[in-house]
Structure 1
Amino acid sequence: MSSLDQIIDNTVERGVAPFLVAMVTDREGVVWEHSAGQANAARAAGPDTVFTLFSMTKAIGSLMAVMAIDRGLITLDTPVGDVLPAFDELQVLEAVTAEGPRYRKPRTRATLRHLLTHTSGMGYEPFYPLMAEYAEATPSHSTDVTGTHASLNYPLLFDPGQDFAYGVSTDWVGALVAELDGRPMDRLLREDILDPLGMTNTYFERAQAGDHLADQALKHPDGTLEPCQVFPAANPEIYHMGHALYGSAADYLSFLRLVLNRGEHDGHTIVGSDAMGLMFENQLGGVTLPTPVIKSYIPSMSYDIEPCPGLRKTHTAGFFRTEEATPGMRGVGSLTWAGVLNSHYWIDPSRGIAAVFMTQMLPFCDPDLMASLDDFERAVCEKFGR
Structure 2
Amino acid sequence: MSDVLDRTHSTGIDGSAIDAVLRDAVASGAVPHVAAIAADTDGIVYEGAAGVRTVGVDETPVGTSTQFRIMSMTKMIVTAVALQQVERGELDLDAPVESYRPEFGDLQVLEGFDGDSPRLRAPRSKATVKQLITHTSGLTYWFWNAEMVRYEALTGLPNVVPGRLDALRAPLVADPGTRFEYGINTDWLGRVTEAVGGSTLDQLVAQGITDPLRMNDTMFILDAERKRNEVSVHVPSDAGWVSAGDILNQEPEWFAGGHGLYSTPRDYIRFEQALLRGGELDGERILRRETVDAAFQNQIGDLDVPEVIPTADPATTDSFLAGPGRKWGYGLLLTTKDVPGGRRAGTGAWAGLFNTHFFVDRASGICASIYTNSLPFVEEHTAWKMYGDFEQALYSAL
TM-score range relative to shorter protein:
over 0.9
Q: How many Å apart are 1:76 and its aligned residue?
A: 2.1
Task: Find out whether 1:274 has 2:287 as its counterpart.
Answer: no
Kept in 1, the 8 Å contact 2:22–2:34? The answer is yes
Paired residue for 1:196? 212
Gaps spanning 5+ residues in structure 1: where? none
Paired residue for 2:150? 133
Q: Which of 45, 62, 77 matches 1:31?
A: 45
Letter in 1 for 2:370: F
SS, match of residue 305 in structure 2: coil
Paired residue for 1:218? 235
Q: How many Å apart are 1:56 and its aligned residue?
A: 1.1
Count of matched residue positions in the alignment of Structure 1 and Structure 2: 379
Letter in 2 for 1:305: F
For 1:112-162, what per-residue CA distance to the aligned partner results, in whole angstroms no more than 9, with x for missing partners? Answer: 1110111111111121111111111113x2321232332212101011000
Q: Distance in 1 between matches of 2:44 and 2:180?
A: 35
Task: Find out whether 1:377 has 2:394 as its counterpart.
Answer: no
Kept in 1, the 8 Å contact 2:232–2:246? The answer is no
Q: Distance in 1 between matches of 2:101 and 2:265?
A: 33
| Structure 1 residues 371 and 223: alpha-carbon distance in aligned structure 2, compared to 1, 3 A threshold | farther
Q: Distance in 1 between matches of 2:333 and 2:371?
A: 18
SS, match of residue 254 in structure 2: coil
Q: Which of 280, 298, 304 matches 2:313?
A: 298
Q: How many Å apart are 1:233 and its aligned residue?
A: 2.0
Paired residue for 1:176? 192
Q: How many Å apart are 1:381 and its aligned residue?
A: 1.1
Task: Find out whether 1:340 has 2:353 as its counterpart.
Answer: yes
Kept in 2, the 8 Å contact 1:43–1:212? The answer is no
- Larger displacement relative to structure 2 (256-265 or 206-215): 206-215
Q: How many Å apart are 1:379 and its aligned residue?
A: 1.5
Q: How many Å apart are 1:190 and its aligned residue?
A: 1.0
Task: Find out whether 1:110 has 2:124 as its counterpart.
Answer: no
Kindly report the root-mean-square deviation, in angstroms, between the aligned alpha carbons of the 2 structures. 1.6
SS, match of residue 20 in structure 1: strand
Q: How many Å apart are 1:262 and its aligned residue?
A: 1.6
Paired residue for 2:202? 186
Paired residue for 2:114? 97
Task: Find out whether 1:72 has 2:89 as its counterpart.
Answer: yes
Q: Distance in 2 between matches of 1:238 and 1:109?
A: 24
Q: How many Å apart are 1:378 and its aligned residue?
A: 1.1
Q: How many Å apart are 1:260 and its aligned residue?
A: 0.8
Kept in 1, the 8 Å contact 2:116–2:154? The answer is no
TM-score relative to the length of structure 2: 0.91
Q: How many Å apart are 1:372 and its aligned residue?
A: 2.3
For 1:262-289, what per-residue CA distance to the aligned partner results, in whole angstroms no more than 9, with x for missing partners? Answer: 2111122211112222211111132222
For 1:150-194, what per-residue CA distance to the aligned partner results, in whole angstroms no more than 9, with x for missing partners? Answer: 221210101100012111100011110111011221111112111
SS, match of residue 53 in structure 2: coil
Task: Find out whether 1:316 has 2:329 as its counterpart.
Answer: yes
Task: Find out whether 1:84 has 2:98 as its counterpart.
Answer: no
Letter in 2 for 1:138: T
Gaps spanning 5+ residues in structure 2: where? 1-14
Paired residue for 2:275? 259
Kept in 1, the 8 Å contact 2:18–2:390? The answer is yes
Kept in 1, the 8 Å contact 2:34–2:51? The answer is yes
For 1:7-56, what per-residue CA distance to the aligned partner results, in whole angstroms no more than 9, with x for missing partners? Answer: 11122122221111010010111111111111241521111100011111
Letter in 1 for 2:262: Y
Kept in 1, the 8 Å contact 2:142–2:312? The answer is no
Q: Distance in 1 between matches of 2:265 and 2:251?
A: 23
Kept in 1, the 8 Å contact 2:36–2:368? The answer is yes
TM-score relative to the length of structure 1: 0.94
Kept in 2, the 8 Å contact 1:66–1:276? The answer is no
Q: Distance in 2 between matches of 1:107 and 1:346?
A: 35
Q: Distance in 2 between matches of 1:192 and 1:288?
A: 31
Q: How many Å apart are 1:207 and its aligned residue?
A: 4.6
Task: Find out whether 1:55 has 2:72 as its counterpart.
Answer: yes
Q: How high is the sequence identity, in percent, across the aligned residues?
A: 32
Q: Distance in 2 between matches of 1:383 and 1:290?
A: 32
Task: Find out whether 1:9 has 2:26 as its counterpart.
Answer: no
Q: Distance in 1 between matches of 2:163 and 2:317?
A: 22
Letter in 2 for 1:315: W
Task: Find out whether 1:330 has 2:343 as its counterpart.
Answer: yes
Which runs of at least 4 in structure 1 moved beyond 4 Å after TM superposition?
Answer: none
